[in-house]
Amino acid sequence: MVQEKLEKMIRETQEATHQEKLRQQMMRRRKRRSKSSISNTKFIVMMAMEKCSYDPREDFRESMVEMIVANKIREADELRSLLEYYLSMNPREYRSAILEIFYEVCADLFVRD
């Protein structure tokens, strides 16, 4: 009985957190849409997935490279939007890792020796 109540509370908390993230994401999209003009708008569809990982840094790296290459992201504002997406969709504890990895990925992809 106690275990069931705990599991229910955990599920409700996770659902509320997920709903809040979706709401914030929608608000950001609306704000960006109102600022951008229709003629130069590029649409990129991204889907967040919950994932358990033994090496989150490498998973972030692979995901970022895949998104940049697959969507041919080259412009600073597009890269900034991608970074904001990763930061908004992941727990705060991963922020420093995301920022470091994003810097490394951009340096590897865009800075030529």
69-105: pLDDT as tens digits:
999 999 999 999 999 999 999 999 999 999 999 999 9
pLDDT the model gives residue 113: 53
Q: pLDDT band for position 11 (50/70/90)?
A: confident
Together in a domain, 113 and 67: yes
Report the alpha-carbon distance of residue 52 to residue 49 in Å, rounded: 10
In a shared domain, residues 85 and 46? yes
Note whether 50 and 32 are same-domain residues.
no
Whether 44 and 8 have beta carbons less than 8 Å apart is answered as: no
pLDDT at residue 62 tops 90: yes
Judge if 48 and 10 occupy the same domain: no
* Amino acid occupying residue 42: K
- What is each CA distance from 5 to 8, 14, 15, 49, 61, in whole angstroms? 5, 14, 15, 26, 38
Answer whether 64's CB lies under 8 Å from 82's CB: yes
Residue 36: what pLDDT? 54
Length of the chain: 113
Domain co-membership, 6 together with 31: yes
Domain residues for the domain of 49 are 42-113
Assigned token pair, 81: 């939007």
DSSP 92: G
Global pTM value? 0.58
Split into its structural domains, the chain has a count of: 2
